Structure 1
Amino acid sequence: MIAKSWRALTPRGKAFLVLGVVLLIACMAFGQRDLARVSILLILLPVAAIGVVGRSRLHLVSERTIDPPRVTLGERMDATLDLRKAGALPVGLLRFEDTVPRELGRRPRFTIHTFAGDWKRQLTYPLMGLARGRYRVGPLLVRAVDPFGLAQIDRQFRASNEVLVTPEVVPLTQMGAAAGNNASGESTPQKIGLVGQDDVLVREYRDGDDVRRIHWRSTARKGEIMVRREEQAWDPSVTILLDSRESSHAGTGRTSSFEWAVSAATSIAHHLITNGYRLAMVDSEGLVPTSSAEDPYAAREAVLLAMTDEDTCAIDSLETALETNLQRQGEMLVAVLGRLSPDDVTALATARRGRTVGLAIVLDVDSFTIRGLRAEPEVIAQHEECVRQLSEAQWRVVQVKRGSSVAEAWAELERRGGGA
């Protein structure tokens, strides 16, 4: 208890206490009663100060709100602290410091200096989403100092608020040539309602058609033999591969190639979900948990939260992810890739087989960093050769440099896909 009280004293309070004790001893030795009263006062002042700040800390209330609690990378939030002190005992000085992760900006520090025993204050400070992820703001730290600056007691509130900084989602152009049709059979299904159901399900008779497939109602109406179409396989599904290997990316923070790739993967996922696709997401470590809900809003929300937590990994190859998670015949495959190696091209070429279309956005990762940190010329040349080989393996490839937008890359895939 004594040690705790001693730590609560400020340097001024300790000086008062030590001086008072020394002076009291001297007065007792020399019989100076009047001076002894002064020494007792010097001793009592720090002790009383400890009691004041100790009591006042029990009556301080804090509430924090953050608006909005979720922002896109680079956007601003406003944190508001509602402070209330109750009780008759005054406190001369209250120093506050809120616990803020460096990814959200600087820690705010402020002081309230008043002798009022009961007061309310509202304080607002900005936060910036400087890095994608989940963060906690708080708890609030408080240092109470008595009016004479003799004692101080630190207090830490328990409450904290969660903040989400999500990747940027870019609106993309409507589905077209880039996506292919993901259909097998005689033709792509049309929307019933724009044409009659019979017109969708039947066609003209061809030599060799089984007579058991003749559709008599349509035959009677059209005056020529019509047969039912073969059953069509429609698989509106897609797998999105995000290259999350640390060795395949360059740059730091919001302007890194990996952040661009995360934004691209999230934007494409949202776009395809909106267009009715069932989605699976894979990174270099394997399947990324997302929602299987049919509700597009729930599916997009699950992707956004999964990509908020996405981070680079130490894996050097794409082979494991491609072999274990992408063996799905007939569906579309979209890959957002960093620096490539010959082994990556081999794995990607194998994964492309049996699919309706393979789309690849390949980042020029060296354009995302300063010249002194770029790869050796031999590595850059190997990457360029890998991009060429990937195109020859029937992948539709678009290369992206720093400064290009996700929307521009997707539009380029559309332009290159005419008639695919």
Structure 2
Amino acid sequence: MSAGGPGTVEDAGRRGGLRSALGGLTTRGRSFLAAGLAAAGCAYVLGQADLLRVGLLLAVLPLICVAVLWRTHHRVTGTRRLAPSRVPAGSEARVHLRIDNVSRLATGLLMLQDRVPYVLGPRPRFVLDRVEPGGRREVSYRVRSDLRGRYPLGPLQLRLGDPFGMCELTRSFSAYDTLVVIPRTAPLPPLRLAGEASGYGDGRGRSLAFAGEDDVIPRGYRHGDDLRRVHWRSTARHGELMVRREEQPQRARCTVLLDTRRIAFEGAGPDSAFEWAVSAAASALVHMLERGFAVRLLTDDGSTVPGEGSDGFAGSTQESADAAGLLLDTLAVVGHSDGGGLERAHAVLRGGEEGLLIALFGDLAEEEVAVAARMRQRSRAAVAFVLESAHWVAAGEPAAPPAAELLRRLREAGWIVVSVPQGAELPALWRQAGRLHAEAPSAAGGGTTDFPGGWS
């Protein structure tokens, strides 16, 4: 099975030589060879010609099978297709395999095996009967994982055997695919809260109020622009046609802060507090993108996704589906950080107005609460979902001391604080945050702090 295109199997026997082919002898083939050599030796010692002929037959048969397989030259191509290639944790994906015989010779019995990580299930194996010249065989299997991550599938292996079962030669494809298991997301209820901050909305454009000609923001002339919008003063200043830009799209911003500190979470596995926080962050990001917000993911170590700019926000020219895919792919592989605080995340937030800030916190100490209070000053509204170890430790383990005082300080700093018990559903907590926002006074005193256009 020689190389001849994408997904074509290499002839392992020809690459490794005859010695490599001899290594493909099965237990039956080795037994026949050993029995034949023993019989030939006994026949030589005893002088029995008939026994010598039997011994030679037993010894030569597996060697003939090795030579035939080694000399057989097939061209077999294989393709793998994932449906889908990105699945939520706990959902199944189907892997479709197709084998094409593109040579002029029919293949013998083929044993097909795909390499699959243990977490996705048992390694799939298939037996394919004779494939005629130009023939095709298709098989499929399912994979499933409760743990998010990126899992390689492949390379695909084919084992070619002789009719007597004396020898098996393995040929491998070089290509592999990647299955991305993303966090589970929950649909969140729309919450339209009272009030709307100026300049923010559901991601729609807003008109700028101009006091006069000096307030006009010009841009270069483009083919098709109305000549009545030419701004002659700017044209004279820049030496090229400039037109008035009377509207500037303004997208509401939302930052989702995910606390990944190892010391902030206890336990592991799909039902742990950290995995709940990751799934909640994914749900919030997807929900805000669907509402037209420009969103970004921020972790405690200061990493931001998406965008290559300094602000890290998904720009208005980026499709929401592409942004959601990038965010979910990042969350699929996010792990614990060894950091002990939130200072690096605060340094990122210090740069400007953040709009809405949604945080997923683990255990907080006094230092983290103080930093979170400063974060609140850089956002128009802030919601914190706090997962305390006292609510998530397994039965029989000592619980962490209550942190009611620290949560009270967060509320005094202007955060909408929601404590997350084990097994809680995010949509219910989302509604609870909306009710708390409606009842909470502004940290500045008097009035309320409105979410940008209603965080819905």
Q: Decide: shared fold, TM above 0.5.
A: yes
Output the amino acid matched with 1:304: L
Q: Which residue number in structure 2 is paired with residue 417 of structure 1? A: 437
Q: Deviations over 1:126-180 (max 9, x none)?
A: 11132212222111223333222222222222222221212223222335339x7
TM-score by length of 1: 0.78
Q: Which residue number in structure 2 is paired with residue 183 of structure 1? A: 198
In 2, Cα distance between the equivalents of 1:190 and 1:128? Answer: 37
Alignment of 1:314 with 2:338, yes or no, is yes
Q: Deviations over 1:352-393 (max 9, x none)?
A: 125322211112445445224x4x44x332x33322221122
**Aligned match for 2:405, one of 356, 371, 385:** 385
**Aligned match for 1:266, one of 265, 282, 285:** 282
In 2, Cα distance between the equivalents of 1:263 and 1:257? Answer: 10
Q: Which residue number in structure 1 is paired with residue 361 of structure 2? A: 337
Unaligned stretches of 5+ in structure 2?
A: 1-16, 211-249, 308-313, 439-447, 450-456
> 1:257·1:368 contact (CA, 8 Å) conserved in 2?
yes
Q: Which residue number in structure 2 is paired with residue 149 of structure 1? A: 165
User: Cα gap change, 1:10/1:320 in structure 2, threshold over 3 Å: closer, same or farther?
Assistant: same
- How far did residue 279 of structure 1 move? 2.5
User: Cα gap change, 1:108/1:56 in structure 2, threshold over 3 Å: closer, same or farther?
Assistant: farther
Output the amino acid matched with 1:355: S
User: Cα gap change, 1:329/1:141 in structure 2, threshold over 3 Å: closer, same or farther?
Assistant: same
Alignment of 1:132 with 2:153, yes or no, is no
In 1, Cα distance between the equivalents of 2:185 and 2:94? Answer: 22
Q: Which residue number in structure 1 is paired with residue 315 of structure 2? A: 293
In 1, Cα distance between the equivalents of 2:160 and 2:58? Answer: 21
The secondary structure found in structure 2 opposite 1:286 is coil
Q: Deviations over 1:41-88 (max 9, x none)?
A: 222211111123334574443322221122122111111222345665
In 1, Cα distance between the equivalents of 2:204 and 2:88? Answer: 39
> 1:146·1:152 contact (CA, 8 Å) conserved in 2?
yes
- How far did residue 331 of structure 1 move? 3.0
Q: Which residue number in structure 2 is paired with residue 323 of structure 1? A: 347
In 2, Cα distance between the equivalents of 1:325 and 1:393? Answer: 16
**Aligned match for 2:116, one of 80, 89, 100:** 100
In 1, Cα distance between the equivalents of 2:75 and 2:411? Answer: 69
User: Cα gap change, 1:189/1:288 in structure 2, threshold over 3 Å: closer, same or farther?
Assistant: closer
CA RMSD in angstroms, aligned pairs only: 3.3
The secondary structure found in structure 1 opposite 2:404 is helix
Q: Which residue number in structure 2 is paired with residue 218 of structure 1? A: none
- How far did residue 336 of structure 1 move? 1.0
In 2, Cα distance between the equivalents of 1:293 and 1:31? Answer: 90
> 1:183·1:235 contact (CA, 8 Å) conserved in 2?
no
Q: Which residue number in structure 2 is paired with residue 281 of structure 1? A: 297
In 1, Cα distance between the equivalents of 2:347 and 2:180? Answer: 33
The secondary structure found in structure 2 opposite 1:269 is helix
- Between stretches 393-402 and 322-331, larger displacement belongs to 322-331
**Aligned match for 1:250, one of 260, 266, 278:** 266
TM-score by length of 2: 0.72
Alignment of 1:353 with 2:374, yes or no, is no
User: Cα gap change, 1:189/1:47 in structure 2, threshold over 3 Å: closer, same or farther?
Assistant: closer
Q: Deviations over 1:381-408 (max 9, x none)?
A: 2x33322221122211111122222222
- How far did residue 246 of structure 1 move? 2.0
Percent of residue pairs bearing the same amino acid type: 29
In 1, Cα distance between the equivalents of 2:88 and 2:203? Answer: 36
Q: Which residue number in structure 2 is paired with residue 165 of structure 1? A: 181
Unaligned stretches of 5+ in structure 1?
A: 203-233
**Aligned match for 1:237, one of 241, 253, 256:** 253
**Structure with greater helix share of residues:** 1
**Aligned residues, how many?**
375
> 2:353·2:378 contact (CA, 8 Å) conserved in 1?
yes
- How far did residue 244 of structure 1 move? 0.9
> 2:98·2:137 contact (CA, 8 Å) conserved in 1?
yes
Q: Which residue number in structure 2 is paired with residue 305 of structure 1? A: 329
> 2:302·2:347 contact (CA, 8 Å) conserved in 1?
no
- Between stretches 166-175 and 398-407, larger displacement belongs to 166-175
In 1, Cα distance between the equivalents of 2:270 and 2:202? Answer: 43
